[in-house]
Structure 1
């Protein structure tokens, strides 16, 4: 086995361990993240590859972000929008 293969992390390294799950965000929390970055819904949507309508629906609580969108929202909340540049 070469060095690169021995350093590769596989699922067997995580046997018995759970992966962190991001907690859901309320509409008010999504809006707070956007406003913290001083972005319009259109601009925020562009960063997240979402339509302005979807951003609005997130902020109104009609839908909840899941998967990659939720992870990005948490990253932006912790580290700012600059991390996506």
Structure 2
């Protein structure tokens, strides 16, 4: 099982970024959330089987490339904490 957190910087708020990530998540057997942060960045936390998590994170990065200019990626240890994928409010 994998847990990957990605923080996206750029024009990622107010452009439908979280909604697009939610739509992408429906293609994969993953759980977690996408959330706007107070500093103008967006946080993505994806958990599930290694292959599913990796593919989703890669697709988000590629499909939404025009919105972000940098990212911070961190792999976290542990079992999944969420039962589905959602948009999380502040």
- Greater strand proportion: 2
* Larger proportion of helix: 1
Whether TM exceeds 0.5 here: the answer is no
TM-score by length of 2: 0.28
Q: Pick the structure with greater CA Rg.
A: 1
Report which structure shows greater RCO (CA 8 Å, sep ≥6).
2
